[in-house]
Amino acid sequence: MKTVVFKIKRQANPDSAAQWECFEIPWKPGMNVISSLMEIATNPVTTGGVTTSPITYDANCLEEVCGSCAMVINGKARMACSALVDQLEQPIRVEPLTKFPVVRDLAVDRSVIFENLKAVKAWVPVDGTYDLGSGPRIAPSEQEEAYPVSRCISCCCCMEACPQFNDDTGFVGAATIAQVGLFNSHPTGKALKHERLAALMGDGGIQECGYAQNCVEVCPKDIPLTRSISEVSRDVMAQAFTDLFRR
Ligand code: SF4
Ligand code: SF4
Ligand code: FES
């Protein structure tokens, strides 16, 4: 019988030491890492014959839309639901993202991205208490520019791969910068443009980016992060310059 071997890094709680466990499960056509974790959960016995607990992980949509199943698979940050077993070298090594606190096993706390998105006001400000009528029209060419960036699923793969995203820099990361560009380009969203760009100035802001482009290589949604970062960087510089002469 054809089988698949997994080595999975596990951790019982945020403070406990990590350890590796090995599992061998039957091969099935089209299986991916999440379906394999589900299979392991039906009979959580290691290759050494030890009965253990099912592996904890985050997942929801199973179609690369919710952004919750990001893990490090064979050394690369990616979505587990779209990681096809047949395309991976075995044993398949699965680890939690390394730049985020582990909650348990493969589940990590990625709340930092939501705090960063709040800090830059990554939304279109709309007063929903009364009928505003239809919104401003957006030309198809502008929609085509904005759409790729709007596909961000907040998975944090770009931050995991970024050499600048660490506790020393406090860098916000590529996803947040791209969302600043997206909401600043929206006819209603641009009302907060000044505040968004101001939030990217100083420590942890856009100047921390070293343009290494690791982010764009791992983004599962092919978001043009390099273009976004350079456009937002240009806007931040222009605003810093204008603010200087306003004083
Ligand atoms: S370009 Fe490099 S430094 Fe900048 S966000 Fe992407 S990975 Fe990080
Ligand atoms: S920019 Fe790409 S890698 Fe980063 S959070 Fe969004 S979808 Fe994930
Ligand atoms: S489960 Fe939603 S992106 Fe993988």
Res. 225: pLDDT tops 90? yes
Express each pLDDT in 230-243 by its tens digit: 999 999 999 998 88
* Three-state DSSP string of 92-128: EEEECCCCCCEEECCEECCHHHHHHHHHCCCCCCCCC
Instruction: Provide the 10 A C-beta neighbour count for residue 10.
Output: 20
Q: In b/e form, how buried is each residue of 78-117, taking b as 16+ CB within 10 angstroms?
A: bbbbebebeebeebbbbbbbebbebbbbbbbebebbeebb
Token pair 């394999």: residue: 36
Q: Does 175 sit in the ligand 2 pocket, CB within 6 Å?
A: yes
pLDDT tier at 135, thresholds 50, 70, 90: confident
Does residue 51 carry a pLDDT above 80? yes
C-alpha distances in Å from residue 9, one per residue of 4, 23, 92, 105, 205: 16, 11, 11, 7, 32
Cis bond before residue 44 (omega within 30° of 0): no
pLDDT value of position 128: 81
Residue bearing tokens 């505040």: 195
Give the closest ligand to the alpha carbon of residue 207: 1
Determine the residue type at 188: T
Which of 10-14, 133-137, 163-167 has the lowest average pLDDT?
133-137
Mutation to probe ligand 1, out of 116, 217, 229 (largest number of atoms < 8 A from CB): 229
* The pTM of the whole model exceeds 0.75: yes
